[in-house]
Amino acid sequence: MRTKLFLLIVCLIANTFIVAQAQDDKLANLLKNYPEADTNKDGTLTEEEADVFRLKVVPCDEIDWGWTITPTFPNEAFGPRIKVNPELIGDNHLFDVWVPEGDGPYPAMIYAHGGGFSSGSKMKALGSMPRLTEENIVFISINYTLSQGPKIAVKDGINAVNYIIANHEKYKIDPEKIVLSGNSAGGIMMNHIIYDLKIPGVIGAWHGAYHKRQFADLSEENLREVGIPIAIKMGKLYPADPGHSPFAAVTLLEKNVAAGNSGMWIGINKNNYKAEQVWINGKWILDVKQDIDTGESYPRMGEWINSIIN
């Protein structure tokens, strides 16, 4: 017993040291890149000095974001920027908006990144989603507060969705045609918004990296009440059941179909990025594991969104 207690204490001390060292490294890196943050010029950057400097951020129009497709509205804010950093990327209450040319209003997809509620940003795992504008769909990627637990992060997600819907005219959005999308933690967040809060105007859910641990009410009865289609696309194949679980994803889709809604599963071979499984409304139209290929087509993200609004 004493040996176990001793080892536990050692582990706790080591972990504390590692966290402290990581924070020191962040301060040292900030000082290296921004020496003006050291206001008393003693050669050491304190947490207080860092916090003060972070409030004096570089204007977003002076930053090269490296976007392949430039947002129409970069760094919009749905709340006060509490966790501020000079590069803006990880600031907790920012979001980017890509708007099609034309008058609108358009359907919109609002996306929340993954990262276990402790990492990531609105730039994570976007892929080609900003190109939804080419199919007359507004695309929005949001940030939220990290490393303070799911409750605060999810509250940010709720505030972001409500803010975007309240300001739909600015972004040329049809507030009655909103699709919510999330990866991993972002999917957990969006499911709560859809199935527990039941925010009006949400007409569909598209998820990636679906996590088996969900706290939303995903019972068949509640799925029937909400009554929207769900699509899930992952870089894993059914019936694998790790944390990001194809098994859990397809099980949810089966329940959604049983509740009278549509469901679509796309399993991707992450080695060649090709679809090797497609399940639509209870039918496998492609499954390399079962040697199934009916030759039937299935919709891409933009096609799927436009199909559910018509």
Same domain, 220 and 304: yes
pLDDT digits (tens, 9 = 90+) for 56-95: 555 555 555 667 889 999 889 999 877 766 667 778 899 9
CA distance 240 to 204: 25
CATH number of the domain residue 193 falls in: 3.40.50.1820
Same domain, 28 and 168: no
Q: How many domains does the chain have?
A: 2
Residue 150 burial by Cβ neighbours in a 10 Å radius (0-12, 13-18, 19+)? middle
Same domain, 183 and 219: yes
Contacts of 97 by beta carbon, 8 Å cutoff, 6+ apart:
71, 72, 73, 76, 138, 139, 140, 171
pLDDT greater at residue 1 or residue 73: 73
Residue 293 lies in a domain: yes
For residue 47, what pLDDT is reported?
78
Residue in the structure block whose two tokens are 């600031």:
91
| Percent of the residues in the chain that have a pLDDT greater than 90, as a whole number | 68
- Choose the final residue of a domain: 56, 73, 105: 56
Same domain, 52 and 88: no
Same domain, 184 and 292: yes
The neighbour count for residue 1, using CB atoms within 10 Å, is 5
pLDDT digits (tens, 9 = 90+) for 245-279: 999 999 999 999 999 999 999 999 989 999 999 99
Q: Write out the residue range of the structural domain in which residue 297 sits.
A: 57-309
Residue 105 lies in a domain: yes
Residue 171 lies in a domain: yes
Same domain, 171 and 223: yes
Same domain, 44 and 71: no
Residue 6 lies in a domain: no
